[in-house]
Amino acid sequence: MLIYQLGEGEALPSPFTVLPSPFTKNKAMNKRNYQKEMDALIARNAAEGKRPSLLLHVCCAVCASYVLEYLYRHFDITVCYYNPNITEESEYRYRYSELRRYVDEAGLSGYIRFAEVEYRPEDFLSAVKGHESDPEGSARCAICFHQRLSYTARLCKEGGYDYFATTLTISPLKNAEVLNRIGEKLAEEYGVSYLCSDFKKKEGYKRSIELSREYDLYRQNYCGCIFSKN
C-alpha cells in the first residue's frame, strides 16, 4: 500500500505542510487537551451504556502496555500491528511476540483481539523514497505516521469499527498534535471516527515504563526503520 512517493525536494502535501516536527513539542499549537476529550467521551459512553469497538494501531509492547490496561475496560479492542517501518523482519517478529506475551501474561487475552495484518516493509521503503537521509522527526516520520494510520483507518472502515486510534501518542518523543491531526484528517477521508489521544498524560508514559519492567518487556532503542537505527 503506497501512500506517498515524493521526489527529492518535493514538499509534503497538506496536512503536513502546516505541522511542526512529529517529535518536537510546540506549546503554541498544543491548545487541545486530548486526554480530557477522551475522558469525556469515555464518560458519555459509560453513562449511555455503550461499549464501542476500537481498532487500535499498536507499535510495540511497551507503548501498548499502559494503553491496553487503560482502554480495555471501556472499548472492545482489536489490535492492528501494522508497522512496515520495522524493516528487519526478525525485529518485527520479536516485537510482535512481546506484544502477544504481554497480552497473555497481563490477563488481557480474553479482552483483546488481533487483526490479520501483512508484513510489507517494501511499502514503507517505497513511501519514503527520496527521504532516506531526512533527520529524525522530519518529513520521513510524518509519512510513516500517515502510512500506518491510513492503513488502520481503512481497516476500521472495512471492519465496521466505531473508532480507530494509535498507541504512538504515548511516546514523549512524538508530538500528539501531529498524530491527532493526521488521524482526524484520515477519519474524514474514510468516513470513520478517530479517537484522539495523548496517552502520555496522567502519567501514562510512566506507567508504561513500570509495566515494561514488571513484565520484562523488550525495549528497543530505535523506532524501527533502518534510517532511525543508523
How confident is the model at residue 222, as a pLDDT?
A: 78
Rounded Cα–Cα distance for residues 109 and 175 (Å): 30
Question: Residues 57, 168: contact at Cβ < 8 Å?
Answer: yes
Which residue is listed with cell 505516521? 145
Task: Establish if 17 belongs to a structural domain.
Answer: no
Give the pLDDT score at 23: 52
Report the number of distinct structural domains present in the chain.
1
Q: Given a cut of 60, is residue 82 above it in pLDDT?
A: yes
Residues 80, 150 contacting (CB under 8 angstroms): no
Neighbours of 36 (CB within 10 A): 12
Range of the domain at 57: 33-229
Residue 13 located in a structural domain = no
- Give domain status of residue 139, yes or no: yes
Q: Is residue 93 part of a domain?
A: yes
Mean predicted confidence (pLDDT) in 196-222: 95
Q: What is the pLDDT of residue 28?
A: 47
Does residue 25 lie in a domain region?
no
Give tens-digit pLDDT for 16-73: 443 445 554 544 444 799 999 999 999 999 999 999 999 999 999 999 999 999 999 9
Q: At 15, is the pLDDT very low, low, confident or very high (cuts 50, 70, 90)?
A: very low
pLDDT band, residue 230 (cuts 50/70/90): low
Q: Where are the beta strands (DSSP E) in 112-223?
A: 112-114, 163-166
First to last CA, the chain: 25
Query: What residues contact 151, with CB distance under 8 A and at least 6 apart?
Result: 1, 80, 82
pLDDT tens, residue by residue, 129-185: 999 888 887 889 999 999 999 999 999 999 999 999 999 999 998 889 999 999 999
- Cell, residue 204: 501514562
Q: Helices 61-71 and 204-214 meet at what angle, rounded to 10?
A: 110
Q: Tell me the pLDDT of the chain averaged across its residues.
A: 88
- Residue written as grid cell 518535493: 10
The band of 84, judged by pLDDT with boundaries at 50, 70 and 90, is: very high
Residue 122 located in a structural domain: yes
Residue 137 confidence (pLDDT) = 79
Establish if 16 belongs to a structural domain: no
Query: Which helix (H) or strand (E) is 164 found in, with range?
Result: strand 163-166
Tell me the whole-structure pTM to 2 decimals.
0.87
Q: Residue 129 belongs to a domain with what CATH number? A: 3.40.50.620
1 within a domain of the structure (yes/no): no
Q: Could you read off the pLDDT of 101-143 as tens digits, one per residue?
A: 999 999 999 999 999 999 999 999 999 999 988 888 788 999 9
